[in-house]
Every structure is written in structure tokens, then in C-alpha cells.
Structure 1
Amino acid sequence: MAPDWLARYQDGERSGVWHELRQFGAAVRLPDYREQAQLVCDEMARRALHNVEVIVDRLARHGFRAHENDDERTPTPAHLPPTERAETHAAWLDEQFGPVPLTVLSWVRIVGDVWLVGTHPQWSTSANADPLVVQLEGSAHPEWGPIGDYLRVGRERWREGPPEGEIETPDDRSGGGLTVLPLSPDGYHKANVSGGLPYGVVVPDSCADGVFAGVTTMPFVSYLNWVFRHGGFPGHTGAPEQEAVRRDLAKGLLPL
């Protein structure tokens, strides 16, 4: 009998459902389980989309200006919904880098690209708080050319390790034939400071949820929950105004 993961997830048994999905491992892709697993991941992504839209709206009301992590602070959208190519792009990612975890594919198809790097008028160091960035479709950057080329470069950087003089974390090198599908710059590069390797998810991985590789490693959904609990800005900057801004941004966001 097919599991009732979606109904349980919607009833609030989120932790239990994610635990079971992780216990099933690659078996979630078997015909008896794939549909329910995908439905849960899609529901997660819809909840994440709600959170992103709420945060972006609140930031706009605060007077926040999203911009690139460069000296010119080139304006850029904080959120771009999936394009009409998103479904095809998700399938391409799964073929080229995968298997890619179902949660990541759901994000590509439902959430889109998110870039919360910018300038906040009440919190001047917000870019130092490791703001949420997930860019897998690259729709904000046509100058990159095909996004696949950009992602392949990031993957190769993980395979080679960080250039000399850059910051290296304990998780910088992955072994056993694994590598990382890049999602975003690391926390240093987001703040326009020379840093380390991109954040990403470990691939190949046939499971429902993947392993997020950043400053440390954790399940991708756990990372997103941590970020949303802090209003999209999980890092600590030491600024006295930080907590008030983050509380306002995080108010009422949905757990995943």
C-alpha cells in the first residue's frame, strides 16, 4: 500500500515524514513511493515559495534594495519565479548532475531563483548575515550564458578544491565520486569578500531530500527551515538592529 506521506505532512507531521523519507533513501524513486514523495517535496516548495514572497514583500516595505555582490552594487531582483523552461531545466539537471534530490527539483520548478543579498536601510550589515540565495535557473543573469556552463564550473571547483589563499571548510572536498551542484556563493562572497567554495547540494543523490553543503552539512530542508526561522538572514553580524529586523521578517513564516 502506498504511504500517506502528503496527508501526514499537511496535517503537521512534517518531521516524521521527512525522517521516513530519509529512511527510505533511494527507494523513494520506486513506482510505489515516487508519487507520494514528489507530492511532499512539491508541497514543501509551495510553502517555501510563500515564505520567499512574504520576505521579499516585507523587505520592499522596509526599503531594502537587492543588488549584486560587487563594488557597483548592481541592482538585481530578489526573487524571480520559475520560467516556462523550469520543468525542462529540472529534468536537465537531473540528467546532467543527478540523480538530483527531489526537494531541489521541486524548488527549481516551483520557487525559482532567490537572491536576498542587498542593502537594508535599518541594518547596514545585512549582506554579512549569509542571506538566502538559491540560483539554479539563472534567469537574472543572461550574461552567464547557458546556466549549465556556470553550474559545471562550480562543480569542477568543488572537485579541485579551493584556490590557494581562499577559505577552506571541513566539507570543502567531497569523496567517493560525489560532488556538489552549486546553489549560491558562500557567505563571504555574498558580502563581497574573497571566500571559499559555493554552497550547494551533494550529487548524485536519489533520495527525497538532499545534503546541503555550506559552512557545515545538513539536510537541504533543515537548512531552509533554519534560514526561514531567521527571516532569510541566518548569519550573526553583531549589529544591534539585527534581531528586530529578523523577527519582523520571520513572523508567521511556514515551517517546511
Structure 2
Amino acid sequence: MKKKESGFRYLERYQEGQHRAVWDELVQLGPAVFDDQLHAEALAVTRAMMRRVRVNIETLIAKLLQCGFVFGYDVRLHEQLVHSLTSPQNRRQYQEMRDWVHEQPPVFLPAKQREEEIAETEQFLAQDPSLAIFVDVGELEQEKRRLQQTTCSIDILEQIVGPVPLAVRAWFEEVEAVNFFGYHPQWSKLVPSFHEMPSWKHIVSDSYLMSSCDPFQICALNEQKIASLKEKYLLNKACSFEFAPDRYFKDYCGGSSTPYTFG
């Protein structure tokens, strides 16, 4: 496919509102977006897109909270806690579920949030150096170095699985982790047709409806995931990056797993 000449103005056009047209053109270019001539601007467009995604996620969270949606696993843990009082086995299951919950991604963890907080702190210090007595400067510098590791992790990921789609790189740079698991206390009343379907007859409460809804969830790119991929790579095993579990494993349900992956 013939490459665009220099001066294509993709980012400028995208910022002017030509979101779909610009993205379609970049997709049509295929692997050419990784060429030196085009890569920087294609990545800039993708980052701009992911900043819009972040705004949309924040808007959705606010609207869901307004309509009474409850994020998280507290209700499911409470139900498991009630069962735990009946036998040692159920108590072990409750503890296992608690450990599992602690490993799940938060409702939203913007990749740039801590970076923005650090920039704001540094701005305050520049305006009033006397505020330095309230800030651990060493810890601040350490946190800045930690934030740089996200980009390094993506680079390592590319070394293992090959070129990472620009949308994936920009996601972890701008958004990172999200988890819409939860429930609505009046789900049955809002959508009574749920319980008229045969496949829903096993559900005993509204809190279990999310098991079949496959909530929006993407896990953070952490050292454990990178280490697992690297181990497979060194053993010449097929490498794939799991960025989200399937709908059942998102809700601590057993059985076979078909996670969302690329590789």
C-alpha cells in the first residue's frame, strides 16, 4: 500500500473532530504505521483517542453511580461471608474469595493520574518552596521513576510478542486499568426479562447477574504478567498477553477459561 506523503496532518485533523475518518485511514495503512515516517504521528493520534476513552470511562462511572449501580465485590463477599458461618470449608472459600478480590483491578486507575498529581505537587512547590516541608521529595522522585516503568514494560512486551498494536500501547500509557464489575440492587425490577430466560434460572440474587454480563475490565500491565510472558518466551512456548479474563472468571466462577488475549 502506498504510504502517505509527509505533512498528512493526521493528528491535526483528528483534533479538529475527524475521528472516524482519520482512524479508518490509519487502519488501512496496516503495518506502514510502524514506519519511521508515520509512526510518531500515528501514535500521537492513538494517544489522543485514548484520552477521549478516559473521559468516556469517567463519564460512564459517574452516570452509573447516579443511577444506583454499585461497583466492586462487597456484596458478593457479604453473601460468601454468610455461608462461611456454616462450615470450615465455606470459611476457606470465603478467605480464598477475599484473596482473589484483592487481586482484581480497581474500578478505574488512570495511568496518568499519579503523573498529574506529581506535576501538580511540583507546581505548588515552585510557587511556594516553603511547602517542601510537607513533601517527601525523595519519595516523589522514586514515584516518578516507577511511573516510567509502565512504558518500559510495554517495550519489554514488544520484545516478547512482537510489535504491539498502537491502541494497546496507548491504552496502557493513558488509561491502564478499569473494572466495571458490580451490581444494581434493583436489577430484577429494571430488567424483569432477565428471570424469564431459562439460562438465568440458576441465579439466586441480583448480585449474580454480572456473571453473565461480561463487565468491561482490563487488567494493569504489571511485572507478574511480563515475567510470565518472558518465561514462556524463553521456553519457546506460544506467547499471548491476557488483558482480561472471560465473563466467568471475572466473577470468581470455576470451569474452563477463554480469556481475552492477543499475541
Fold conserved between structures, TM > 0.5: yes
Opposite residue 152 of structure 2, the aligned amino acid is T
Which structure's relative contact order is higher, taking Cα pairs within 8 Å and 6+ residues apart? 1
From 219, 226, 229, the equivalent of 1:135 is 219
Q: 1:146 aligns with which of 224, 242, 251?
A: 224
Q: Unaligned stretches of 5+ in structure 2?
A: 1-5, 81-96, 115-146, 188-205
Aligned residues: CA RMSD: 3.1
The Cα shift of 1:103 comes to: 0.7
Partner letter of residue 115 of structure 1? N
Asked whether 1:116 is paired with 2:203, we answer no
Displacement after TM superposition at 1:151 (Å): 5.1
Q: What is the 5 A alignment of 1:78-117?
A: 78-82=107-111, 84=147, 85-117=149-181
Please list, as runs of the form range in 1=range in 2, the aligned pairs for 1:217-232 lying within 5 A after superposition. Answer: none
Q: 1:112 Cα deviation (Å)?
A: 1.3
Once the 2 structures are TM-superposed, how far is the Cα of residue 50 of structure 1 from its aligned partner?
A: 1.0
Higher helix proportion (structure 1 or 2): 2
Task: Select which of 59, 64, 67 maps to 2:70.
Answer: 64
| Counterpart in the other structure of 1:2 | 7
Runs (4+) of structure 1 exceeding 4 A deviation are: 68-71, 150-155
Q: Assess if the C-alpha contact under 8 Å between 1:3 and 1:33 holds in 2.
A: no
Instruction: Normalising by structure 2, report the TM-score.
Output: 0.57
1:144-173 Cα deviation digits (max 9, x unpaired)? x62323556899xxx78xxxxxxxxxxxxx
Does 1:25 find its partner at 2:30? yes
Aligned to 2:47: 42
Structure whose CA Rg is larger? 2
CA shift for structure 1 position 8: 2.1
Partner secondary structure for residue 146 of structure 1 = helix
Letter of the 1:196 partner, please give it.
Answer: S
Q: SS at 1:114's partner residue? A: strand
Q: Could you give the per-residue CA deviations for residues 113-138 of structure 1, whole angstroms, max 9, x where no partner exists?
A: 11112233233323421111111424
Q: Could you tell me whether the CA contact under 8 Å between 1:137 and 1:147 is conserved in 2?
A: yes
Going by fraction, where is strand more abundant, 1 or 2? 1
For 1:147-166, list aligned pairs within 5 A. 147-150=225-228
* Contact kept? 1:187, 1:195, Cα under 8 Å: no
Quick one: structure 1 residues 47 and 190, their matched pair in 2 at CA, closer, same or farther if it must change by over 3 Å? same
- AA of the residue aligned to 1:182: E
For 1:38 and 1:6, how far apart are their aligned partners in 2? 9
Match of 2:117 in 1: none
Structure 2 counterpart of 1:200, one-letter code: T
2-side partners of 1:21 and 1:196: how far apart? 33
Report deviation, 1:106: 0.4
Q: CA separation in 2, counterparts of 1:118 and 1:99?
A: 34
The whole-number CA distance in structure 2 between the counterparts of 1:4 and 1:110 is: 22
CA distance in 1, matches of 2:29, 2:212: 37
Q: For 1:184-199, list aligned pairs within 5 A.
A: 184-193=244-253, 194-199=255-260
CA contact (8 A) 2:70 2:184 kept: yes
| CA distance 1:127–1:7, shift in 2 (3 Å) | farther
Tell me the number of residue pairs that the alignment of Structure 1 and Structure 2 aligns: 176
C-alpha contact (below 8 Å) 1:120/1:126 kept by paired residues: no
SS in 1 for 2:240: strand
Going from structure 1 to structure 2, the CA distance change for 1:120 and 1:150 (only over 3 Å counts) comes to farther
Percent sequence identity over matched residues?
28
- 1:53-74 Cα offsets, whole Å, 9 max, x none, are 2223333442513139986463
